[in-house]
Structure 1
Amino acid sequence: MMLGKFSFLKNGKSEKKEQVFSDAHRVPEHVAIIMDGNGRWAQRRGLPRIAGHREALKTIKKITNEAQRLGVKVLTLYAFSTENWKRPKTEVEFLMKLPEQFLNSYLVELIENNVQVRVMGDMARIPAHTIRAVNQAIEKTKKNSGLVLNFALNYGSHAEIVEAVRSLVRDALDHKIEPDSIDEQLLSERMLSPLLPDPDLLIRTGGEIRLSNFMLWQMAYTELYFTEIYWPDFSESDLRTAIFEFSTRQRRYGGIKEERNGDK
């Protein structure tokens, strides 16, 4: 799998960079974010890790509003991975309460702002109270036509791909499809985000430079952007800087740029 180019910016601040948004065609349709650094943000302030997760909710609200204002169509947030169950029990229990807290606090505002809530992931291990809050948000926003706010909850890309392959194998054994008919398109349709475009831009906060089992199939040609800024400190200006960086890149999808007269 070939990944797009990536950048790693330490401060990501530039007044000039915010001038780009007069050109709406350069705003990515789908932005995915790995919201990393909550625990370290708290520890640097002498606070428990859960304080960072609580602060992260405010950032989600700010970035969702700014993404919609800029014209982003889909915002996918990596809220909880299949590997996060390895964390201390108290932290996991707190993390499982956050979707409910966020949606209870901001659902009315999301509805007013025409945001549609979606969730992808394995719901089998998710507590009932979290599922109720998520299902309520999905139901109450399903007719909204603005930004799609897609939470990856108990999500892991390896598990997603394995289950997609299993579903194709089952259909082949049941003679619903021919094995030779299986192609990239058919496999993509069995992923957890078949109705969404693949991410154009991935942002990872917190200083780590890896994908951490996040949308590996969908991000074959996604542009990657890494920043040392911890998620609770990630601002609207930082989002604009990341999108500006995206807007300067040439996306070739394995091809080459067509040269014009005078190009070097």
Structure 2
Amino acid sequence: MKKHKLNHIAYIMDGNGRWATKKNKPRNVGHLEGAKVIPKVIDYAINENIKYLSLFAFSVENWNRPKLEVEYLLQLLIDHLTNKTKKYLNKKNIKLNWIGFETNLNPLIVRKIKSVVESTKDNKGIIVNIFFNYSGTKDIENAFEKILDKNFSKKISNIKELLLTSELPPIDLLIRTGNEKRISNFALYDLAYSEIIFEEALWPDYNELNFNSNVKEYYNRDRRFGKINEQ
């Protein structure tokens, strides 16, 4: 068995807009092409026997983007929340989770997301977590607000229990495509000891060769978790 098995891999899917701009196309074309990569990456993860795959699709800060681009991203999400998607997920035994806040989201979108999630809740294969309308700092702040609420009586041993990511294990490997070197307020608590790869490929270009290279790099790293090498 491989040392420090890659159990949870996460992606900041960056570079859609730049991909489109390089091809003299509207940014929305990049988002559309980027969406097509997601099922491919799910297959890569399944083939590598990875249990958890997390995808950062839309942050709370992304509401600050141009209105038309935000509207397109929301519509793109709606277009994928269909019975066809449910059938695809169930056929592959994929359990889908939504990690995010309902704030600012149209109730229709919330209902559609929850409907797809509900339809896959009993699946036993890979667990795919879509982080949509998510903020790492807001997640932690909300946890403290719950604790400080005078009506809060739940006994907890770790603040993790109050996070939206409470049911997820730590992220072993974070990959950010597009070669931007920041974590953009993503799953801050869960990234404490993650290995991080800043991948040059833009998200629409990300392929199996990139994936295999990233996984190989992960296994070539020495994960010490604060310890020192014991020779």
Equivalent position to 2:134, from 155, 164, 172: 155
- What residue in structure 1 maps to residue 81 of structure 2? 103
Q: Does 1:133 align with 2:112?
A: yes
Equivalent position to 1:40, from 7, 18, 38: 18
| CA shift for structure 1 position 24 | 5.4
- What residue in structure 2 maps to residue 194 of structure 1? 166
Moved over 3 A (4+): 23-27
Equivalent position to 1:176, from 153, 171, 179: 153
> Is the Cα–Cα contact under 8 Å of residues 27 and 70 in structure 1 kept in the other structure?
no
- What residue in structure 2 maps to residue 254 of structure 1? 226
- What residue in structure 1 maps to residue 7 of structure 2? 29
Equivalent position to 2:50, from 72, 86, 101: 72
> Is the Cα–Cα contact under 8 Å of residues 97 and 130 in structure 2 kept in the other structure?
yes
| CA shift for structure 1 position 175 | 6.8
Equivalent position to 1:52, from 4, 23, 30: 30
CA distance 1:187–1:45, change in 2 (3 Å):
same
> Is the Cα–Cα contact under 8 Å of residues 4 and 223 in structure 2 kept in the other structure?
no
Gaps of 5+ in 1: 1-22, 260-264
CA deviation map 1:175-201 (0-9, x unaligned):
7268xxx7xx52111111111101000
Equivalent position to 2:187, from 208, 211, 215: 215
Aligned partner of 2:33: which letter? E
What's the TM-score, normalizing by structure 2? 0.94
> Is the Cα–Cα contact under 8 Å of residues 35 and 79 in structure 1 kept in the other structure?
yes
Q: Does 1:242 align with 2:222?
A: no
- Give me the CA root mean square deviation: 1.6
CA distance in 1, matches of 2:165, 2:47: 23
The structure whose RCO (Cα within 8 Å, separation 6+) is larger is 1
| CA shift for structure 1 position 154 | 0.5
Gaps of 5+ in 2: none
